[in-house]
Amino acid sequence: MKTGGRVCVVGLATVVLGVVDVGSVGGTLFGSTLVGCGGDFCDPVLEDAVRAVRAKNPDFEAAKARTDRVFMAGHGTASLTGFGVSLVEVEHLPTPEELLPHDVTARGPLDEPSLLFFRKTDGPENEWDLIGFGYHRHLTPCEVPVLDDGGDSIGADAWFIHEAGWHHVPVGDGGFTAATAADIREGSAFDDDGCVDVTADDLLNVRPLFVPHGRSWTAQVWFAEDACPVVALTDPYGRTDCVERRAGCGGETRCEPSLDVVGRAFFQQGDCRAVCDAAP
């Protein structure tokens, strides 16, 4: 194994007061000039993980058909700007009694992520290629995750908070509504810095046709041919800005914009010293 390798963490996002408006950056900052980590070679551990994940999940259809693990569409088949079409690992598929099965959080190793991201085309699902993957964990406000494997890691600076809220499934457009203080039950806490945990049980049931979830940590890895794997919140290559659709056989190709992820869907944790330093 090569020595001196590193995971390239790229914070390509518009950060204002710790809030990332994913929909505002879509493909404007994420151009084609990003070609890797800027070092002499790629991180070998992360490269090995990419090869393993691609072999197990080459496309959207193959990932859903796996029998050793269970993946379900987190946003239906909607393509989200910066993320594409996503699958999330769960313990079992939804049932009428349990709309949202208990989700599985990242527990390592690096080659077994709990999130998968695909580039949608107007072709069948076996043509939706894997372009990235990620890891999620329930929010532990005073303990930022570190996913370590073989001495290299996805460290604390790579993790964002995914706000509590509602996915617009099983009905709706597949988008996401972030919770606000007005959506929290009396007696539960809510803050802008992400220093307190918010669970699905803390949410008022104001959107019964959408799937709720609490706050979680999330970190993503993106890859492209002839480039180092990159750790970033969203796809840095602009591949999910739109879905290319062809107007009939031999017709011209048009770009159908992907669904924007707007507002407080993801943000970087603020200063939690007052909360965490006081914790027992």
pLDDT one-digit tens code per residue, 193-225:
999 999 999 999 888 888 889 999 999 999 999
Domain interval for residue 217: 8-276
What token pair was written down for 116? 């998968």
Name the amino acid, one letter, at 254: R
User: What is the tally of structural domains in the chain?
Assistant: 1
What is the number of other CB atoms lying within 10 angstroms of the CB of residue 62? Answer: 14
Report if residue 249 sits inside a domain.
yes
Report if residue 74 sits inside a domain.
yes
Q: How far apart are CA 12 and CA 206, in angstroms?
A: 34
Q: Closest Cα to residue 46, out of 3, 105, 6?
A: 6
Report if residue 1 sits inside a domain.
no
pLDDT in tens, 101-137: 677 777 668 889 999 999 999 899 999 999 999 999 9
Percent of the chain predicted with pLDDT > 90: 54
Report if residue 214 sits inside a domain.
yes
Q: How confident is the model at residue 2 (pLDDT cuts 50, 70, 90)?
A: very low
Report if residue 241 sits inside a domain.
yes
What token pair was written down for 123? 């072709």
Q: Would the pLDDT of 20 be above 50?
A: no
pLDDT at residue 30, as a whole number? 31
Q: Closest Cα to residue 20, out of 161, 197, 183?
A: 161
Residue 219: partners with Cβ closer than 8 Å, 6 or more residues away: 106, 134, 135, 136, 145, 147, 154, 158, 159, 160, 231
What token pair was written down for 27? 């493909």
For the ranges 25-39, 118-132, 172-186, the lowest mean pLDDT is seen at 25-39
Report if residue 169 sits inside a domain.
yes
Report if residue 2 sits inside a domain.
no
pLDDT at residue 15, as a whole number? 32
Q: What is the largest CA-CA distance in the chain?
A: 66
Q: Closest Cα to residue 203, out of 149, 252, 163, 147?
A: 163
pLDDT at residue 209, as a whole number? 84
Report if residue 81 sits inside a domain.
yes
